[in-house]
Every structure is written in C-alpha cells, then in structure tokens.
Amino acid sequence: MLRKMTNQIIRRTITMNKYTRIRDFDGALASGVGSSDIPILAGLHRHYGSTTLKLWEQKTGRGEKWNGNERTRVGHDLEAYVVFRFVEEKFGEDIAADVYKAKLRDRSSGPFKAMTEARSPEKPFCIAHADVLVDGQILVDRGDDGPVDLPDAPFIIEAKTVGAYAGKRREGRIFTGYDQDDRTAQGIPDAVFLQVQWQLLCYGVEFAYVAALIDNQYSSWGPIEADTRVQAKCLALAERFWRLVSTDTAPTPETWDDVQRLFPEQTDTTVMIAGDQEADVREMIARDKSLADRAKAIDEERDDIKNAIGVLLGESSVLSSGSGDILAKSSETTRESVVIMAREKDIKKAQARKSPPPLTEEEGQILELAAAVRELGLVTKSSFRQVRF
C-alpha cells in the first residue's frame, strides 16, 4: 500500500555554487581534482595500488586512465536502485518510482538532479559530480512515522555498492567499512567521508547522505554535515597536488612501486644514510624479522590444528558435534600444474657446469617443448626489482 503524501513543501533557501549538467565527464576529471581523487591523495587507497604518483601520471597523460572493473560497472548499474531505495525510504514510493525511471536515463526528476557538475568558484580545479543533488521544492512524505528526517536545505545523495568484505567495519585508525549500528558520519568509511566532504565543498552544500547496498543489503547514513576543518585539509592536499600537475613535477614516491615507476633503470650506486634515519631503518628491519617469525609460528600452529582435526576425521568426510553441527569437512581435490619451465631451468643450470652430464631423451624433449611453448606466446616474462634486508 502506498504511503500517503501531504502537500507540505520544503523550500530550499540556501545559496549554493553554480552547477551544470555533465558534458564531458572524463575531460572534467582530467582538468581538476575530483571527489574520488581525494582519498588517494590522503593515502587511503595505497593497498589498492593507487598513489599520488599514479594519479599524477593519469592527470598529465603519462598513464592510462582508470576505466573501472567488473565491480565498478555493476556498481554503476545498481546506482539507480540504491537512489530509489533512499528516496523511497525518505519520500515515499511514488516519488521514488519517478526518480528511478529518470535516473536510469541519466535524467533529473523535479528537484532530484542527476548528471550535475560543480566547481569551486575560488578554486576552479576543485570539481565534483554528485550522484544526486536534491535542489528545489519537494513534497515530503509524512506517512505514519512522523516527520521526515531531512534538512531544510539542498543536500547530496551519494550511492555506493560494495561486497560483504569491503563493507565490513574494522577497528583501527582508518575505518574501511560501514558500521550498521552507527548511522552518523562516524559510521561510514574514511574514504567515503572525504569524498562526501569534497562534494559538499564543490557544490557549496551543507548536508549529504550516503546510501549503500552492502552484499545486497540496503542501508543509509546521515545527515553528514560539511566539516570546514576536514574540507580545508582536503583542499590543501588538492592544491599541492594540482601544483605538481600544473608544473609537470613528479610527486615524491610513497611506495616501492612508485620508486620503480620513477626510476625504471637501476644504477650501480649506493645511497648512504646515518643518524636517526639509519636508526629508523634498523628498527624497521628488526620489526620485519619479528613479523616474519610470528607469521611462521602462526603457520605452524595452524598446521598443528589441521593435523589434530584431521586425526579426528580419520577416514570420514565429515566431523560433527553431538547436536548435528558440522565442524569440519574433508574432500578429495585434484590440482594440475605445469612444470616445464622450472624443469628447463634446472636442465640449463646443470648444462652450465663444467663437464655437464649428457642430456637424457626426456630432458631433450623438455627443452624442445619449452621452446615450442615460448614460440606460441604462452610464456609471459616480467622483470622487477626486489628489496632484501
């Protein structure tokens, strides 16, 4: 049954920055710093291989732009549905249906503006594309649950689609997931929070909501208010980065991958350090050894657990509790591997010795087969540098 709609109107009186319809999404991103760039500049996406240097290469035309993957494509396709769920939750099914139909065609529906672009008037390189900007007059769904919890001002809807693993909240300095028990700004990942703050800055809007489909479960967070202190820090990161882009100056490397990108050719030289820097390096090397020892101990302990449970399983395939709960299973698995190249390496190593033994018929066949595999282009070769302590 559709919820009842009243004729009450919320009038948007807050003056925001001018926004336009998106004409060239890729071109706009190349000409400025977008909301998806801010988490990279803040160092929150290094574990994904995204660094300031890699972003600089893309902005200066040295590297290929990110075209997304299967997950991002699915996320884009589901964006209209996530927006529909949010609008349905806040405004009712009738309005949500209209917004959904329009969003599927990348069109606006009344005050629900899609495909918009905004730049900061003071800093034109600051650019954002909100998933949906709610701007204008709108009928509010009062329903049977009381007043709608929405600000009397323009606001942004940020739609996200993530899997169960990426959507899980983890304790620590940097939150990488969503907290289902905290629907405020504290309940969203740091990277999403910075994205939203950048959008609020570029649009000149004070409020935003995050709507997310996490492993096919819908949730929403907000209102998220503009935080001027966070926005100022984001702006400082963006200004510093855009200065590097404008002057064609490569940023300082942040990861070993960055170092290899900046210095593809290794030189036969030695770099010397001393003092506090040397002490820091020695401490890091000692910590690495400690972590390696702990990892080895953990692997050994896991092997002990597997052996103990395996003994209980014996010839059976299932281990269960007295109440019928399945505790462990054993199954037959088959794995195939090709060892041609490894065997070729061993044969050539033996042939390089003084007075090498004569090739056997089998070894000769392996060398011929390895050569044929290479000729067919089935062997990929890559060179890389390694750091050893």
Mean pLDDT on 38-61 = 89
- Distance between CA atoms of residues 157 and 159, nearest Å: 6
Q: How far is CA 229 from the centre of its chain?
A: 24
Q: How confident is the model at residue 10 (pLDDT cuts 50, 70, 90)?
A: very low
> Tens digits of per-residue pLDDT, 279-318?
999 999 999 999 999 999 999 999 999 999 999 999 999 9
- Distance between CA atoms of residues 189 and 370, nearest Å: 49
CATH fold of 9-246, please? Answer: Lambda Exonuclease; Chain A (3.90.320)
> Tens digits of per-residue pLDDT, 310-352?
999 999 999 999 999 999 999 888 877 778 888 888 888 888 8
**For the residues of 12-70, what is the DSSP string, one character each?**
-------EEE-S-HHHHHHTSB-TTTHHHHTTTTGGGT--HHHHHHHHTTSSPPP---H
Give the pLDDT score at 168: 82
Strands (E), the chain: 9-10, 19-21, 112-113, 116-119, 127-128, 132-134, 138-139, 155-162, 207-214, 217-225, 318-320, 326-329
Residue type, position 82, single letter:
V
- Count of other CB atoms within 10 angstroms of residue 377: 7
Give the pLDDT score at 339: 83
- Distance between CA atoms of residues 6 and 41, nearest Å: 45
Give the pLDDT score at 185: 92
Alpha carbon distances (Å) from 53 to 49, 67, 214, 236, 259: 10, 18, 31, 17, 10
pTM, two decimal places: 0.72
Decide: 175 and 189 in contact? Cβ < 8 Å. yes
Sign of CA dihedral 242, 243, 247, 248: negative
> Tens digits of per-residue pLDDT, 66-106?
665 666 676 678 899 999 999 999 888 999 999 999 999 99
- Distance between CA atoms of residues 1 and 278, nearest Å: 71
- Distance between CA atoms of residues 158 and 189, nearest Å: 13
> Tens digits of per-residue pLDDT, 170-179?
776 567 889 9
Contacts of 150 (CB under 8 A, 6+ apart): 10, 90, 140, 223
Alpha carbon distances (Å) from 30 to 59, 76, 191, 238, 376: 5, 20, 21, 13, 39
The backbone region for 275, taken as left when phi is positive above 0, alpha when psi lies in -120 to 50, beta otherwise, is left
> Tens digits of per-residue pLDDT, 107-144?
999 999 999 999 998 899 999 999 999 986 554 544 55
pLDDT above 60: residue 13:
no
- Count of other CB atoms within 10 angstroms of residue 207: 20
